[in-house]
Amino acid sequence: MITNPKVLEYLDIISPVNSKAIEEIRAEAKRNYIPIIKRDTENLLKFVLKMQNPGSILEIGCAVGYSAAVMLENSDADIVTVEKMPERVEEAKRNIKYADFESRASILEGDAGEILKSLADKGEKFDFIFMDAAKAQYITWLPVVKKLLKESGMIFSDNCLQEGDLAESSFAIRKRDKTIHKRMREYIYLLLHDETLESWIFSIGDGVLLSRSRR
């Protein structure tokens, strides 16, 4: 974790709370050890959404629907969200319905790579793309994600610094994490040096990379 745990506790106390339903979804996810966005990352996400005011959002990695509900509460957008695990899809549907956003959300179950390609083939475009799924796949999905991004659209890539591990030498990384470490470093480099994008990296939460289309 990059952010001091005491700082996160403080942010939990002082940050404006979400609706009662969304806070209940958050509490339930934490009780069940479901990974959800950290409060400082959530605050940045809300700020960016308020500034950009997107009309359409694509989320890659729905989990139990917490971040989707947060994005819907803090924008007027409709959302398409992708999740591979059937049990989480069902829970996400229940949670989004409970938060009263069912009419604005479409949950697509299946492999993210295949779904993203299908959306691109249909000519779908989104103002805002939130990436929070398999980190080793970010770089694999990047070409099609860029095709799905509207002019002046934004990509919000979460967990990019891997709890700070990305700053470590590859020799210090556990063998099972080396692929993620290598691919995420490549992903960050590509985005920061992509002439079609403007990108900024933030050392909050587990690392956030914000990218905006120059088109």
Which structural domain range is residue 46 located in?
A: 5-213
Residues 73-116: pLDDT tens digits?
A: 999 999 999 999 999 999 999 999 999 999 999 999 999 999 99
Cβ distance 156 to 48 under 8 Å? yes
CA distance 53 to 172: 41
Q: Flag whether 42 is marked binding.
A: no
Q: What sign results for the dihedral spanned by CA atoms 127, 192, 63, 29?
A: negative
Contacts of 135 (CB under 8 A, 6+ apart): 159, 160, 162, 180, 183, 184
Count, in order, helices (H) and strands (E) of the chain: 8, 7
Using CB atoms within 10 Å of the CB of residue 79, give its burial: 0 to 12 exposed, 13 to 18 middle, 19+ buried. buried
CA atoms in the 13 A half-sphere facing the CB of 12: 13
Q: Is residue 181 very low, low, confident or very high in pLDDT (cuts 50, 70, 90)?
A: low
Q: What tokens does 170 get?
A: 């590859």
Domain harbouring 77, CATH code? 3.40.50.150
Q: Flag whether 151 is marked binding.
A: no
CA distance 65 to 72: 10
Q: Flag whether 83 is marked binding.
A: yes
Q: What tokens does 36 get?
A: 């959800």
CA distance 22 to 163: 25
Q: Flag whether 111 is marked binding.
A: yes
Q: What sign results for the dihedral spanned by CA atoms 44, 47, 51, 57?
A: positive
Global pTM value: 0.90
Give ∠ CA 164-168-173 in degrees, rounded to 5.
100
Domain count, the chain: 1
Range from 32-36, 71-75, 125-129, 169-173 carrying the lowest mean pLDDT: 169-173
Q: Flag whether 165 is marked binding.
A: no
Cβ distance 95 to 29 under 8 Å? no
pLDDT at residue 171, rounded to an integer: 43
Residue 206 has pLDDT above 50, yes or no: yes
Residue 70 has pLDDT above 70, yes or no: yes
Q: Flag whether 100 is marked binding.
A: no
CA distance 60 to 33: 20
